[in-house]
Amino acid sequence: MELALRKRGFHHDLNMRLATEIQDETTQPYRVAQPTTHQSHEIPEDPARGQTEISQHLALAAQATNDAVRVWSVNTGALSWPQGLHALLGYSPSPATADIGFWQKQLHPQDRARTAASIRDALAGDSDHWTGEYRFRHLDGTYLDLLERASIVRDSLGQPIQLVGSLMDITARKQLQDQLVRSQKMEAFGQLAGGVAHDFNNFLTTILGYSDLLLDELDTKDEIAEHIREIRGAASRASTLTGQLLAFSRKHPLAPAVVEINSFLTNLERSLLRLLGEDISVQCNFARSGLHAKVDPGQLTQIILNLVVNARDAMPGGGCLALETGSVAIEPSDDHDCSLEELAAGDYVVISVTDNGSGMTEEVQQHLFEPFFTTKGEGHGSGLGLATSYGIVRQSGGHICVESELGKGTTVKIFLPKLPAPPPPSYKKPGAKRLPTGTETILVLEDDISVRHLAVRVLRSLGYEVLEAANGDDAQQLIARRNGKKIHLLLTDMVLPQMSGRCFADWMNKTNPETKIVFISGYLQESLNPGDQRDQEMFFLPKPFDQEQLAGKIREALDA
């Protein structure tokens, strides 16, 4: 209760001071907005002493909040800064800061018209308050995001005399809001990609599969075969695009492996030189000790090549590209200069790609990882490169961030969790390139008729006995009619009508525990209901797949 009374008394003191300041500057009658809750407050007999106490209260309040206070005389344009001009904004009081033009000049050019119109409307109305957000130029050249809450003092006719505003720095809050908005946009796009992935991947599986079957049956030098190869090539490129979209969503089924980063980048060096051209030099500064991380090698290759191409485009007149590797230990309390999201504590491998090209503005950097955002001309970029890279790195447990300065160049840093070196691989004798065959019985459970017929045809051509069903009920009836004859493997889609593939697989494990199971799906794993998702140790073949991938996965599961 005592604290509440003190607060009410403080607000009353503030209004009394404003009234006194106005009387000093004008002889016109005035009115001041009063608090909604009135509290009696004894005015000191000595006005000077009272003003001193009020000033002390205001100074303590400003010190506690680090806010700046500005007082603008509407009629004369005079501007004073009772608090915070230097502490918050970096400027020292001078004749230049004593005019409203100073405040207007420091506003961000994109915020001037909007802020001026908002204040003008508030002054023209009958409101006693104005609130607005804008960017204000600090003395060091950076812009602060400010929230200003102001009282409008009017005369007896309702005409504005003064505007007294408190300026609060909300830069950190705005950055968090912008980060949240970007994350939500990226998550929404990921969900959209997952929604179309299943049907699209079914189509591609059918196109790729039947193209392979036709090529096997036709003369490879035939003109029709050449047309089919073109169709298959287009489907393969479409499959790559789908993979990029799903990788952006951070839910693409990757094929991670432990990679020695220095050797990996060394093997890429010739490809990098061909991409860059003769007028761009490459400097490599790799850490001496081996650096290992678990990542999909093919996807990491695409990330590095994409960054190299971006660097080349930023140096049209030539320049230097620097590749650097190292390691860093992240502690829970560390602040990361270029990180938009906190990295978990631990040891990380760091890959840096630096160019001395044109660099980027802060505005461009804010949109870098958004899908379809590109600064390149029409037909020279899909805008998925960095968005895809972001998804792949985040899915691998790492982070990617960008540091850039206009006219000086750009550095992209990739953080990947560091792992110990794996044991050397055992030697495997290379075999002939032919599809593995078998004679086991396989049940194909797939609701898409084109994909089901394709899988059945491929597996039968490899020697397997194949049964097929479009849904779980049909499959159960088919198994019942076999009177206990063994089914060696179940190939099932994850998403099925009536009964999901995971539910049917669980039923199969109970009734036929020796049956191996391979799941296929074009859906994102995270898009499925929790009960329908597969465990990590289960065999999985993502759509789209070709006959070689299908044959290999089936044999792998049967031989496990």
Q: Express each pLDDT in 497-513 by its tens digit.
A: 878 888 899 899 999 99
User: At 464, is the secondary structure helix, strand, or coil?
Assistant: coil
pLDDT at 162: 94
Q: Are residues 205 and 79 in the same domain?
A: no
Q: Are residues 152 and 20 in the same domain?
A: yes
Residue 426 within a domain: no
Q: Please check the confidence at residue 24 and state whether its pLDDT lies above 60.
A: no
Percent of the chain with pLDDT over 90: 33
Domain end point (choices 137, 169, 201): 169
Q: Which of 22-26, 417-421, 426-430, 493-497 reaches the highest mean pLDDT?
A: 417-421
Q: Are residues 240 and 215 in the same domain?
A: yes
Type and span of the H or E element at 540:
strand 539-542
User: At 501, is the secondary structure helix, strand, or coil?
Assistant: helix
Residue 527 within a domain: yes
Q: Please check the confidence at residue 27 and state whether its pLDDT lies above 60.
A: no
CB atoms within 10 A of CB 255: 10
User: At 411, is the secondary structure helix, strand, or coil?
Assistant: strand
The two structure tokens encoding residue 229: 């190869």
| Of residues 32 and 178, more confidently modeled | 178
pLDDT at 340: 43
Q: Are residues 140 and 116 in the same domain?
A: yes
Q: Please check the confidence at residue 26 and state whether its pLDDT lies above 50.
A: no
Q: What is the CATH number of the domain that holds 109?
A: 3.30.450.20
CA dihedral 20, 24, 27, 33 (to 10 degrees): -30
Weakest mean pLDDT among 70-79, 97-106, 338-347, 348-357? 338-347
Q: Which residues of 42-77 are buried (b: 16+ CB within 10 A; e: fewer)?
A: eeeeeeeebbeebeebbeeebeeeebbbbbbbbeee
Q: Please check the confidence at residue 550 and state whether its pLDDT lies above 90.
A: yes
Q: Are residues 17 and 113 in the same domain?
A: yes
Q: Are residues 453 and 356 in the same domain?
A: no
User: Which whole number is the average pLDDT over 414-439?
Assistant: 73
The two structure tokens encoding residue 267: 């093997």
Residue 433 within a domain: no
Residue 424 within a domain: no
Q: Tell me which residue of 331, 349, 344 sits closest to 294, measured CA to CA.
A: 349
Domain end point (choices 169, 200, 235): 169
pLDDT at 195: 61
Q: Please check the confidence at residue 534 and state whether its pLDDT lies above 80.
A: no
pLDDT at 333: 58
| Of residues 147 and 301, more confidently modeled | 147
pLDDT at 382: 44
| Of residues 29 and 354, more confidently modeled | 354
Residue 383 within a domain: yes
Q: What is the CATH number of the domain that holds 314?
A: 3.30.565.10
pLDDT in tens, 251-276: 555 577 888 999 888 877 766 666 67
| Of residues 344 and 550, more confidently modeled | 550
Q: Please check the confidence at residue 97 and state whether its pLDDT lies above 60.
A: yes
pLDDT at 238: 80
Q: Please check the confidence at residue 548 and state whether its pLDDT lies above 60.
A: yes
Return all residues near 57 (Cβ < 8 A) that are at least 6 apart. 10, 13, 14
Weakest mean pLDDT among 44-53, 222-231, 456-465, 532-541? 44-53
The two structure tokens encoding residue 134: 């804008």
Q: What is the CATH number of the domain that holds 481?
A: 3.40.50.2300
Weakest mean pLDDT among 45-54, 209-218, 358-367, 417-426? 45-54
Residue 147 within a domain: yes
Q: Tokens 């010739």 belong to which residue?
A: 270
Type and span of the H or E element at 382:
none
pLDDT at 89: 94
The two structure tokens encoding residue 379: 């037909």
Q: Please check the confidence at residue 514 and state whether its pLDDT lies above 50.
A: yes
Residue 413 within a domain: yes
Q: Tell me which residue of 137, 185, 167 sits closest to 71, measured CA to CA.
A: 167
pLDDT at 494: 83
Q: Are residues 354 and 397 in the same domain?
A: yes
pLDDT in tens, 5-19: 343 444 444 444 444
pLDDT in tens, 107-158: 999 999 999 999 999 999 989 999 999 999 999 999 999 999 999 999 999 9
Q: What is the CATH number of the domain that holds 214?
A: 1.10.287.130
Distance, C-alpha 485 to centroid of its chain:
51
| 160 bridge partner residues | 154
Q: Are residues 31 and 164 in the same domain?
A: yes
Q: Are residues 531 and 555 in the same domain?
A: yes
Sign of CA dihedral 299, 400, 364, 317: negative
pLDDT at 110: 93
Q: How far apart are the first and last CA of the chain?
A: 74
**Which 8-state DSSP code applies to residue 367?**
T
Percent of the chain with pLDDT over 70: 72
| Of residues 139 and 533, more confidently modeled | 139
Return d(Cα 418, Cα 268) in angstroms, integer: 20
Q: Are residues 351 and 445 in the same domain?
A: no
With bands split at pLDDT 50, 70 and 90, how would you rate the model's confidence at 533?
Answer: low
Residue 432 within a domain: no
Cα 71 to Cα 82, 158, 552, distances in angstroms: 8, 18, 77
Q: Are residues 40 and 17 in the same domain?
A: yes
pLDDT in tens, 376-392: 544 444 445 577 777 77
Q: Are residues 161 and 183 in the same domain?
A: no
The total number of structural domains in the chain stands at 4
The two structure tokens encoding residue 542: 């993502």
Domain end point (choices 152, 169, 186): 169
User: Which whole number is the average pLDDT over 333-341?
Assistant: 53
Edge-to-edge order in the sheet of strand 516-521:
465-469, 441-445, 489-493, 516-521, 539-542
The domain of 197 spans: 178-248
pLDDT in tens, 161-219: 999 999 999 988 887 777 777 667 666 666 666 666 667 778 888 898 888 888 887 76
